Amino acid sequence: MSFLAWIVLGLIAGFIGSKLVNKTGEGFVRDILLGIVGAVLGGWLFTTFGASGVTGLNLYSLFVAVIGSVLFLIIYHMIFRRAA
């Protein structure tokens, strides 16, 4: 997958993951980074459990990346959120 495709997939997956977890986007750059990390994490998890990971710029890869983004964002908030 090309670098531009990772950016596009990361942006979309990060934005969707942010909306699912905390109802607001994290910002343009943070959404892209979250999505790329989520795509890598989701691809690794899916591959570990026997399914195919990110295969290109398609709906299945978007699903994998969103799942990874949501998991990454939940872990991120568990670690860096302080009790009010």
**Residue 82's pLDDT is what?**
55
| SS3 category, 78 | helix
Q: List Cα–Cα distances, 79 to 40, 51, 73, 82, in angstroms.
A: 20, 28, 10, 8
Q: What ranges make up the beta strands (E) of 12-82?
A: none
- Determine the angle formed by the axes of helices 59-80 and 3-22, rounding to 10 degrees: 50
pTM as predicted: 0.79
Angle at 42 between CA 41 and CA 44, to 5 degrees: 65
List, for residues 17-73, the tens digit of each pLDDT value. 888 887 766 677 777 777 778 878 888 888 888 887 777 788 888 888 889 888 988
